Amino acid sequence: MKTGSIIGISSMKPCCNILILGRNSSIFGCPLPKSGHFTEYNLSRSQSKLYCLMKKKCFHSNKVLGFRSVVDSNRRVFCGSGSNWGQSRVPSVWAEKNNRFLSVIANVASNTRNHSSSVESRVNENSFEKIYIQSGFNVKPLVIERIEEGQDLVGKDEGTENEHKSKVDDGANASTDQFGKAEVLESTPERHLSDVEKEAWKLLRGAVVNYCGNPVGTVAAADPADKQPLNYDQVFIRDFVPSALAFLLNGEAEIVKNFLLHTLQLQSWEKTVDCYSPGQGLMPASFKVRTVPLDGRVGEFEDVLDPDFGESAIGRVAPVDSGLWWIILLRAYGKLTGDYTLQERVDVQTGIRLILNLCLSDGFDMFPTLLVTDGSCMIDRRMGIHGHPLEIQALFYSALRCAREMLTVNDSTRNLVVAVNNRLSALSFHMREYYWVDMKKINEIYRYKTEEYSTEAINKFNIYPDQIPGWLVDWIPETGGYFIGNLQPAHMDFRFFTLGNLWAIVSSLSTSKQSEGILNLIEEKWDDLVAQMPLKICYPALEHEEWRIITGGDPKNTPWSYHNGGSWPTLLWQFMLACIKMERPELARKAVVLAEKRLSVDHWPEYYDTRYGRFIGKQARLHQTWTIAGYLTSKLLLDKPELASILSWNEDYELLENCVCGLKRGRSKCSRVTAKSQIAV
Ligand code: GLC
C-alpha cells in the first residue's frame, strides 16, 4: 500500500487534487488529511461517482493551460465553453495566485523528473530489471511548460483562422500549425486527388472531434444511418493512429499534438484500492468529449473529456495496446514534423516512463513477452488470444524501440534505459526463435519428442505434434513463413495474425530474412489473406466446436466474420509500411487498387465478411474512420515512400550484441548462437 498517494480521494476540498507532495502537506490553504492511506477513504462505487461530480469544482487554473480546462484525479478533463470565453472560471483566489501556482507546478515537474519513477537495475541477476514508482510521489506533472514560454499548448483559441490552409486540394479547410511544415513534408509537391480520395478527406474531416474548440481526435465511425453507435462515437487511441498519420503526412500536425497531450492527461497515474481502477500508466481505450451544462450557469456548457479504460467496454477488456500506440504515434509525430520538443517535455517523458514501468514491471511470468488477457488489442473480444499474443508483442517491441529513441537519459532514467535495452534484446531473441514457423520448422515440430525435462530440451514448451492443424500442413508454402499467433506451455496458436506479422516487419522484430518470408507468404497466399478485400485480420477462421469453445459462441465472431477471419481494410496502411520497407511497394499497390474499387462504393465499411471478403460485414459500421484514414495514409505513403522509411526501423546490431544470456547465469552456452542462422541478415 502506498502511503503518500493521497490525491483526490482523501479530500473534497478545492484545489487539492493536483499538487500533493506528501503527507500533511498544504497547498494554497487547502489542508490535507492527516493520514495518507487510501483505505481510510475507501468509498463505494456510488460514493466515488458522487465524488467525481464534486471534484469538478476542484479545478486548477485553466488559464495556465491556455484553454479552459480542468483536470480531476479521475483523469476527466473539463473545459468550459460558456459565453464568457475570455474570462477564467477560476476562483479569484486562484487567479491571484496564478503566478505562484505556475512556479509551484514547475517545481513539481522538475522534481518529478528526478523522483517520480526509478528503476532498480539488477542486470547481473537472474531476472530483468525491477521497476518501481517511488511511493509517495506518484504525481504526474501537468502540462505547463509551453505556457511559460508564452506558447500555446494544445491548440489556439484565436488566430487559427488565418492559418487555415489545405495541403491537399480536397476543398475542405485544414489547419497547419507551426510544426506541420517539416522540411521533408514541405519538399513534396502537391498531388492531384482522385474523387475517392477527395471523398475520403471530406469524411475524415467530418469525423474530427473538437474539445474546447480545438481538434483532438476522430470518432471511430460516423455512420449516418447508425441509430445505436455504442462507443463508435468515441475517439479510440488505436483507431486514431491512421487518422493521425494521414494528417501528419498532409502537413497537419495540430490535431495530433492535441491528441497526444490530451490523452496524456487522461493517462491513469494513481492506483487506488478499488481493484477495478486502471493501473498506473494505463492509457484509455477511448475517450468521449461530452458537453455538459455548467454548474450554476444557465445556458452555459463545458466540455468534458471522459476516458474509458475498459470499465464500460463490452467484455471489460483492458486496452494494453493503447499506451504502446501512444508511444509509437509520439515518435511518428517527431519524425514527421521535426518537432522533437514535444517528446522532450517533462510531462511527456513522465507519460512514456509510466507506460514503460507498467509494461516492464515484474510478474509471475518468465518470458520477455507481455502476458495479457484476451481481447486486449485490436481484437477486443474473446478470440482465444490471451497469454502472449503476437499483436501485443510486436507493438510492445515497436514501442520499446520508440522509447529507446525518445527517453531523455539522465540519472533517473539510466536504469530504465538499460531495462528497455535488455527487454528488446530478449524479446527479439524469443520471438525469432520460438514464434517463427516455416516449412522446415513445422516439420521439426512434427517430429518433436515430448516430456523433455532439462534446460537443454529441444521442445522447450512441450508442444505435442498433434497440435499442428490439418490446414497448415498443406497451406505452408515451400518458401516463406510467419510468426505464429501465440505461444504458451504446450500450446502454439498457428493462426496467421496480420497486424502482428506486419509490425514485426516494420519494427525489425523479425530478421530481414523473416520479413521477406512473411511478404512471400502473403504473396503466395494472396487469395486467402487478401482475396477481394485487404486484409484478413487472421487466418483461418475458427469454425464449429472450436468457434463455440474458443469464442464462447460469439454471434459477432462467427466464422469468416469480424475478428474471426474477417477482412479489415484499415490494415492496408500497415501493409503499405511493411512493403515499402522491404522495397516491395508493388505488392501493397495491388492491394490498394483492390480496396479502391469497393471502399467508396460500399461506404467505407469497418470490415468485410466471408472467406474471400466478398460481403460487407454483418454488423460493420459504415463510414468507419480508420478504414477511411487507412486508405488515405496508404495513398500518401505510396506517394512519399521516403516518409514510410522514417516510420520504420532497421535491424539494431547493438541490440544483437547485447546478448540476453548475460542475464541467465549458469548457462554455459550463449543462446544467441543457436539462433545465429535466423539473425543472419
Ligand atoms: C472494434 C474493434 C476495435 C476498434 C473499435 C472501434 O471493437 O475490434 O479494434 O478499436 O471497434 O473502431
Contacts of 214 (CB under 8 A, 6+ apart): 67, 154, 155, 156, 157, 254, 258
Residue bearing the bigger pLDDT, 635 or 84: 635
Look at residue 109 in the predicted model and tell me its pLDDT: 27
Query: For the residues of 289-319, what is the DSSP string, one character each?
Result: EEEEEPTT-TT-EEEEEEEESSSSSTT----
Cα–Cα dist 509/104, whole Å: 43
220 lines ligand 1 (CB under 6 A): yes
Mean predicted confidence (pLDDT) in 224-253: 94
Nearest one of 197, 208, 260, 674 to 458, comparing CA atoms: 674
Cα–Cα dist 194/204, whole Å: 15
Look at residue 655 in the predicted model and tell me its pLDDT: 85
**Pairing assessment for the beta strands 491-497 and 208-211 based on DSSP bridges:** unpaired
Cα–Cα dist 110/116, whole Å: 10
| Cα 596 to middle of ligand 1, angstroms | 22
Cα–Cα dist 388/391, whole Å: 9
Nearest-CA residue for ligand 1 atom 12 is 220
Residue type, 563: H
**Pairing assessment for the beta strands 615-616 and 608-609 based on DSSP bridges:** antiparallel
Cα–Cα dist 390/369, whole Å: 9
Q: Judge whether residue 175 has pLDDT over 60.
A: no
CB of 374 closer than 8 Å to CB of 385? yes
Nearest-CA residue for ligand 1 atom 4 is 378
Alpha-carbon radius of gyration of the chain: 25
Q: Judge whether residue 502 has pLDDT over 60.
A: yes
321 lines ligand 1 (CB under 6 A): no
CB of 502 closer than 8 Å to CB of 577? yes
Look at residue 54 in the predicted model and tell me its pLDDT: 24
Q: Judge whether residue 357 has pLDDT over 60.
A: yes
Look at residue 314 in the predicted model and tell me its pLDDT: 76
Q: Judge whether residue 423 has pLDDT over 90.
A: yes
Residue bearing the bigger pLDDT, 40 or 577: 577
Mean predicted confidence (pLDDT) in 456-465: 92
CB of 237 closer than 8 Å to CB of 319? yes
Dig out the grid coordinates for 532 from the structure: 477481394
Q: Judge whether residue 668 has pLDDT over 60.
A: no
Cα–Cα dist 240/624, whole Å: 11
| Separation in Å, CA 146 to CA 102, 154, 177, 348 | 11, 10, 15, 12
Q: Judge whether residue 312 has pLDDT over 90.
A: no
| Separation in Å, CA 451 to CA 455, 457, 488, 510 | 12, 9, 15, 29
426 lines ligand 1 (CB under 6 A): no
Residue type, 201: W
238 lines ligand 1 (CB under 6 A): yes
Mean predicted confidence (pLDDT) in 510-535: 98
Distance between start and end Cα atoms, the chain: 48
Nearest one of 188, 165, 176 to 644, comparing CA atoms: 188
User: Which of ligand 1's atoms lies nearest the C-alpha of 378?
Assistant: 9
Residue bearing the bigger pLDDT, 23 or 445: 445
Q: Judge whether residue 194 has pLDDT over 90.
A: yes
CB of 406 closer than 8 Å to CB of 334? yes
562 lines ligand 1 (CB under 6 A): no
CB of 332 closer than 8 Å to CB of 179? no
Cα–Cα dist 659/672, whole Å: 7
360 lines ligand 1 (CB under 6 A): no
Query: In the structure, what pLDDT confidence band is assigned to residue 543 with cuts at 50, 70 and 90?
Result: very high
Query: How many CA within 13 A on the CB side of residue 337?
Result: 28
User: Which of ligand 1's atoms lies nearest the C-alpha of 220?
Assistant: 12
Dig out the grid coordinates for 232 from the structure: 463508435
Query: For the residues of 178-222, what is the DSSP string, one character each?
Result: TTS--HHHHTSPP-PPPHHHHHHHHHHHHTEEEETTEEEEE-SB-
Mean predicted confidence (pLDDT) in 216-238: 92
Nearest-CA residue for ligand 1 atom 3 is 378
Look at residue 270 in the predicted model and tell me its pLDDT: 65
Task: Name the least confident of 259-273, 279-293, 436-450, 601-615.
Answer: 259-273
User: Which of ligand 1's atoms lies nearest the C-alpha of 239?
Assistant: 10
Look at residue 137 in the predicted model and tell me its pLDDT: 30
Q: Judge whether residue 4 has pLDDT over 70.
A: no
| Cα 378 to middle of ligand 1, angstroms | 6
Cα–Cα dist 135/154, whole Å: 30
Look at residue 79 in the predicted model and tell me its pLDDT: 56
673, burial (CB in 10 Å: exposed 0-12, middle 13-18, buried 19+): exposed
What beta strand segments (E) does 319-448 contain? 436-438
Cα–Cα dist 628/608, whole Å: 14
Cα–Cα dist 286/217, whole Å: 10
Query: In the structure, what pLDDT confidence band is assigned to residue 513 with cuts at 50, 70 and 90?
Result: very high
302 lines ligand 1 (CB under 6 A): no
Other C-beta atoms closer than 10 Å to the C-beta of 157 total: 14
Tally of residues, the chain:
681
Nearest one of 95, 57, 65 to 302, comparing CA atoms: 57
| Cα 568 to middle of ligand 1, angstroms | 11
Cα–Cα dist 479/477, whole Å: 5
Contacts of 125 (CB under 8 A, 6+ apart): 663, 665
Looking at residue 164, what DSSP letter applies?
B
Cα–Cα dist 153/677, whole Å: 50
| Cα 307 to middle of ligand 1, angstroms | 15
In the chain, % helix, strand, coil (3-state, to 5) comes to: 40, 10, 45
Query: In the structure, what pLDDT confidence band is assigned to residue 478 with cuts at 50, 70 and 90?
Result: very high
| Separation in Å, CA 285 to CA 350, 397, 667 | 19, 20, 41
- The Cα diameter of the chain in Å comes to 77
User: Which of ligand 1's atoms lies nearest the C-alpha of 626?
Assistant: 12
223 lines ligand 1 (CB under 6 A): no
Look at residue 84 in the predicted model and tell me its pLDDT: 32
339 lines ligand 1 (CB under 6 A): no
CB of 403 closer than 8 Å to CB of 516? no
Cα–Cα dist 257/628, whole Å: 21
380 lines ligand 1 (CB under 6 A): yes
Task: Tell me, yes or no, if the pTM score tops 0.95.
Answer: no
Residue bearing the bigger pLDDT, 365 or 126: 365
Among 324, 380, 382, 607, which residue has the most ligand 1 atoms within 8 Å of its CB, making it the best to mutate? 380
| Cα 78 to middle of ligand 1, angstroms | 26
Look at residue 121 in the predicted model and tell me its pLDDT: 31
Dig out the grid coordinates for 272 from the structure: 487506488
State the sign of the Cα–Cα–Cα–Cα dihedral 206, 211, 215, 218: negative
User: Which of ligand 1's atoms lies nearest the C-alpha of 624?
Assistant: 12
Cα–Cα dist 579/627, whole Å: 19
User: Which of ligand 1's atoms lies nearest the C-alpha of 314?
Assistant: 7
Could you tell me what percent of the chain has a pLDDT over 90?
60
Query: In the structure, what pLDDT confidence band is assigned to residue 672 with cuts at 50, 70 and 90?
Result: low
Mean predicted confidence (pLDDT) in 124-135: 29
Nearest-CA residue for ligand 1 atom 7 is 380
Q: Judge whether residue 212 has pLDDT over 80.
A: yes
Look at residue 18 in the predicted model and tell me its pLDDT: 25
pLDDT averaged over the chain?
75
Query: In the structure, what pLDDT confidence band is assigned to residue 122 with cuts at 50, 70 and 90?
Result: very low
Dig out the grid coordinates for 84 from the structure: 464568457
Other C-beta atoms closer than 10 Å to the C-beta of 57 total: 15
Place of cell 473480444: 381
| Cα 221 to middle of ligand 1, angstroms | 10
Mean predicted confidence (pLDDT) in 534-559: 97
| Cα 593 to middle of ligand 1, angstroms | 24
